[in-house]
Chain A
Amino acid sequence: MAEFPVSVTVNGQARRGTVEARKTLADWLRDDCNLTGTHLGCEHGVCGACTVIMDGVAVRSCLVFAVQADGSEVTTIEGLAAEDGTLHPVQDAFQKCHGLQCGFCTPGFIVSVASFLEEHPNPDDTEIREGLSGNICRCTGYQGILQAVKMAAETMQSA
């Protein structure tokens, strides 16, 4: 099958390769970049586990073809903590509020929340619930996650 060149800046690092037109961004990140933190929970755009930030917007990487990402900047879960390992405020809040159990949905949630809080620095409860409705979690009942979003919003506000 024909392959196309792609070049994407992933977590600040230039990545180049060739891909089949049908290869998703999620598969490319996982298989070609070995960034396996981006998880696939459904591959049909419902669960949000595969969420990454592409040119400043949260996208479901199972619904984006790698070729569509050509020339873009992508941030995955692996790119959120600081170089020295300091957790991003959202990551930190998820740990403090027990916002994860099995951890499988977690990268998608954290990336979604990080992006959501950029747009809504001071969200109310309803906005948070709506902002999270595109990510599903089987373990937490969303309770710790909601707490974490509030805590992260406060931390990021006061930073």
Chain B
Amino acid sequence: MPSILGTRVKRVEDPRFLTVGGTYVDDLRDPRLDGALWLTFVRSSVAHARLASIDTSSAAAAPGVVAIYTFADLSVEPQLSMPAFNEAMKRPALADGVVRFVGEPIVAILTEQRSQGEDAAEFVVVDYDPLPVVVDPVEAAADEVLLFPEAGTNTAYGRVREPDPTLFEGCDAVVHMTLYNRRLAVAPLEVKGCAAVPAEDGRMVVWLSSQGAHTAVASLQAALGTEDLHIITPDVGGGFGAKNGASAEDIVVCRVAQLQGRAIRWAETRTENVLTMQGRGQVQTVTMGGTRDGRILAYRVDILGDAGAYPMIGAFLPMATRMMAPGVYDMPKVEVIARSVVTNTAPQMAYRGAGRPEATAAVERTIERFAAEIGMDAAEVRRRNLVPKFVEPHKTPVGTTYDIGDYPAALELVLEAAGYDALRKEQASRRAAGDRLQLGIGIATYVEITAFGGSEYARIEVKDDGSAVVYTGTSPHGQGHHTSFAMIASERTGIPIERINLVWGDTDLVPTGGGTGGSRSLQLGGSAVLQTTDLLVEEARQRAAQQLEANPEDLVLDTEAGRFHVAGSPTAGRTWAEVAGNDGLAVASDFTQPSGTFPFGAHVAVVEVDTETGQVELTRFIAVDDAGTMINPLIVEGQRHGGIAQGAAQALCEEFIYDADGNPLTSNLADFTFISTCELPSFELVPMETPTPMNPLGAKGIGEAGTIGATPAVQNAVVDAVAHLGVRHIDIPCTPERVWTAIQEASK
């Protein structure tokens, strides 16, 4: 029978999304939530202030108000999201005397009806004593305005180090610049929501819009002082890294449910979402030096991460950037200085790629600047510096060990697919003709790290009707786990994928799990399913042998029929239904991968820039992405598509902006320029598969690849389009205004 693996199976999870729209937290009509009260937050309207007073008396008298909570009423200890952060920077679930960013929750109002909460919130009077505001991380690093005076510093993580003064000795060409990897609104289409019900047996049932039920357990247990939680993640409408674990608001919802002994619901508005869920945000000072014949000798990147008002995962991400700083290049000397500081802006979350896109953006923009400096084609400079093909682990100067790679092949593949030489000719003729619309060609080669090692759980249960259920500790929110995992389980059991169900995101049904993030699900969760399938088949073989009174070694599994029989005599056999019998058959196991895998690829973006208006049109996008073995190319392509669009969006239009006083200027989807169909061409995807030796599937992660390559490819293309006019760099997002200004400046 031909293998189902590697084929374009349409997703089995789709029909319920297509017909009734799935069931996200806010869609739950579970009887346990009947009569639930609604929670509404009053949030800070200023970026930094002492709370002189909070007057809730009129709000308390508003229709439908049941209770009002401030920090003191909750008795929830402030939490430090990672032990490595500065101890003095703990986050209270509701503001404790001081607010540090616009959107920080101060008061929680509980009402009978949802709309009553919005009304009552208007009656809460907060008296702010303004404090000086620091929005720019560079200013924050000067420690003049401190967010946490008791910390004595704004540095949340990492430290300042003196750069090595000899790093660029021997280089005939050195380029130096400052890059701004801007803040973005993560903006999953489903905003966050939570519902919590204290059950009669003393347990708390919690539904979360989260990337992993299990990753939310610890912080909720700490806040609630109880171990006895049942956490469920129903359908989740996108996460992109920012829905990891439980948020401060989730903690408040659960705590209030506990205090009230009643069911509580909450869902944020889109404005609340973009005010609290942001990613990226790094200032990178880069220097690259080498010889005039294109050999790079040394590279330094000094990363200043903008952690926002409280250190969350975002504060740690400069370390992920550090790990991947040299990218695909064989550079003898690499120096990375990394730290993050707090500012009066939204606490930074992970956002698709989380630290790796920032690493690639830095090195890929810098190498093009270096190419321009020495007057060599950017593709050629890359060729001269790529790590050659390797099949044994490759250790970089920053100490990261890549699993396997063939970067030169990826580069040549994408250049050929793009028709690179023809594009350069076309560009030359437009330049010679002085056309208004100039052509830009941008390249980015990348390598990233996915899964970071770790383990994942799978259990497979076969029922007496021969159908199966796969239990996973990973947690889908768009990645097609059900289909991919069913394909893996079907391949070696012969149980058709339509008869395989998936259970995820329920701490009662799945004992452990790492959720979904860091592109870990297929390689860890999928490998766990594969490993468990093999154990299941062995277990079933033993049982079938007993039933048939045969030797287990003599039995074969006919995966076409889904039936065990003695080799050579197919008449007597046992189907999965018969083997499972009334008691069913179930096997569980954990799969462990010792370290991360390193997907790689190369992207080419082609843009047209209107030299009179600065308008950029992305006309083509060609991508080679190697994530190892593909289980379902349809799903893999979907991941690439989405990532490329988000990466291109960061280069072209998206940016979350604060003014100098910390007021957000892009606090809804009308002002935050979310990319639409009109700004994107059809992407040209080129397949490449180099299986990793790190797991039995040979799979690496594909979730983040697009975002990693696309941003610098598009940015490089825009700069390239106007390079002949003397432009050497344009910050992202490359808005018409920035591009136009760069052209004007260059012509001065």
A36 partner, pick from B29, B187, B237, beta carbons under 8 A: B29
Question: Judging by beta carbons under 8 Å apart, are B21 and A95 in contact?
Answer: no
Question: Judging by beta carbons under 8 Å apart, are A39 and B682 in contact?
Answer: no
| Residue on A nearest B271 in the bound complex, by CB | A44
Interface-facing stretch out of A53-61, A66-74, A96-104, A151-159:
A96-104
| Residue on A nearest B645 in the bound complex, by CB | A141
Question: Judging by beta carbons under 8 Å apart, are A142 and B18 in contact?
Answer: no
Asked, given contacts A95-B14, A141-B641, whether A101 binds B20 with beta carbons under 8 Å apart, the answer is: no
Question: Judging by beta carbons under 8 Å apart, are A136 and B189 in contact?
Answer: yes
Question: Judging by beta carbons under 8 Å apart, are A141 and B669 in contact?
Answer: no
Chain B hits for A32, CB < 8 A = none
Question: Judging by beta carbons under 8 Å apart, are B17 and A100 in contact?
Answer: yes
The verdict on A28 contacting chain B, using a C-beta distance below 8 Å, is no
| Residue on B nearest A142 in the bound complex, by CB | B677
A143 partner, pick from B18, B23, B635, B682, beta carbons under 8 A: B682
Chain B hits for A130, CB < 8 A = 678
The contact string, 1 if C-beta is below 8 Å from chain B, for chain A 78-93, is 1011000101000100
Question: Judging by beta carbons under 8 Å apart, are A41 and B189 in contact?
Answer: yes
A24 to chain B, nearest CB (A): 10
The verdict on A10 contacting chain B, using a C-beta distance below 8 Å, is no
> Complex formed: what's the CA distance from A22 to B642 in Å?
36
Question: Judging by beta carbons under 8 Å apart, are B669 and A95 in contact?
Answer: no
> Complex formed: what's the CA distance from A1 to B712 in Å?
54
Chain B hits for A47, CB < 8 A = 189, 270, 669
Question: Judging by beta carbons under 8 Å apart, are A104 and B189 in contact?
Answer: yes
Chain B hits for A95, CB < 8 A = 10-11, 14-15, 18
Chain B hits for A101, CB < 8 A = 238, 478-480, 638, 642
| Residue on B nearest A128 in the bound complex, by CB | B677
Question: Judging by beta carbons under 8 Å apart, are A41 and B190 in contact?
Answer: yes
Question: Judging by beta carbons under 8 Å apart, are B238 and A42 in contact?
Answer: no
Chain A hits for B478, CB < 8 A = 101-103, 139
The verdict on B674 contacting chain A, using a C-beta distance below 8 Å, is yes
The verdict on A129 contacting chain B, using a C-beta distance below 8 Å, is yes
A138 partner, pick from B11, B240, B269, beta carbons under 8 A: B240
A92 to chain B, nearest CB (A): 8
The verdict on B73 contacting chain A, using a C-beta distance below 8 Å, is no
How many residues of chain B get a CB closer than 8 Å to chain A's CBs?
54
| Residue on B nearest A76 in the bound complex, by CB | B21
B676 partner, pick from A20, A38, A40, A133, beta carbons under 8 A: A133
> Complex formed: what's the CA distance from A91 to B10 in Å?
13
Asked, given contacts A77-B19, A77-B20, A144-B641, whether A103 binds B27 with beta carbons under 8 Å apart, the answer is: no
A60 to chain B, nearest CB (A): 12
Question: Judging by beta carbons under 8 Å apart, are A143 and B188 in contact?
Answer: no
The verdict on B535 contacting chain A, using a C-beta distance below 8 Å, is no
Within 8 A of A (CB), among B589-645: 634-635, 637-638, 641-645
Question: Judging by beta carbons under 8 Å apart, are A91 and B479 in contact?
Answer: no
B642 partner, pick from A34, A46, A141, beta carbons under 8 A: A141
Asked, given contacts A98-B11, A102-B238, A143-B682, whether A138 binds B21 with beta carbons under 8 Å apart, the answer is: no
A95 to chain B, nearest CB (A): 4
Chain A hits for B22, CB < 8 A = 103-104
Chain A hits for B115, CB < 8 A = 20, 22-23
The verdict on B668 contacting chain A, using a C-beta distance below 8 Å, is yes
Question: Judging by beta carbons under 8 Å apart, are A132 and B642 in contact?
Answer: no
Q: Which of A30, A45, A140 has the most CB of B within 10 A?
A: A140
| Residue on B nearest A79 in the bound complex, by CB | B19
Question: Judging by beta carbons under 8 Å apart, are B670 and A46 in contact?
Answer: yes
Asked, given contacts A98-B638, A102-B478, A136-B676, whether A110 binds B683 with beta carbons under 8 Å apart, the answer is: no
Question: Judging by beta carbons under 8 Å apart, are B680 and A49 in contact?
Answer: no
Chain A hits for B269, CB < 8 A = 43
A133 partner, pick from B191, B240, B641, B678, beta carbons under 8 A: B678
> Complex formed: what's the CA distance from A130 to B676 in Å?
9
| Residue on B nearest A129 in the bound complex, by CB | B677
Question: Judging by beta carbons under 8 Å apart, are A102 and B18 in contact?
Answer: no
Chain B hits for A34, CB < 8 A = 29
The verdict on A75 contacting chain B, using a C-beta distance below 8 Å, is no
| Residue on A nearest B14 in the bound complex, by CB | A95
Question: Judging by beta carbons under 8 Å apart, are B668 and A137 in contact?
Answer: no
The verdict on A105 contacting chain B, using a C-beta distance below 8 Å, is yes
> Complex formed: what's the CA distance from A31 to B53 in Å?
36
> Complex formed: what's the CA distance from A100 to B676 in Å?
15
Question: Judging by beta carbons under 8 Å apart, are B674 and A102 in contact?
Answer: no
The contact string, 1 if C-beta is below 8 Å from chain A, for chain B 633-670, is 01101100111111000000000000000000000111
Chain B hits for A98, CB < 8 A = 10-11, 634-635, 637-638
| Residue on A nearest B633 in the bound complex, by CB | A98
The verdict on B235 contacting chain A, using a C-beta distance below 8 Å, is yes
> Complex formed: what's the CA distance from A159 to B478 in Å?
31
B553 to chain A, nearest CB (A): 42
A29 to chain B, nearest CB (A): 11
The 7 nearest A-B residue pairs measured at CB:
A37-B21, A104-B237, A141-B645, A102-B478, A103-B17, A101-B478, A36-B27
Extra inter-chain contacts (12) besides given A39-B24, A98-B638, CB under 8 Å: A34-B29, A46-B674, A77-B18, A80-B19, A100-B14, A102-B189, A105-B237, A138-B238, A141-B642, A141-B643, A141-B683, A142-B680
Some 15 contacts from A to B, beta carbons below 8 A apart, are A20-B115, A36-B20, A41-B270, A45-B670, A87-B18, A87-B19, A102-B237, A102-B478, A129-B677, A138-B646, A140-B641, A141-B644, A142-B680, A143-B683, A144-B638
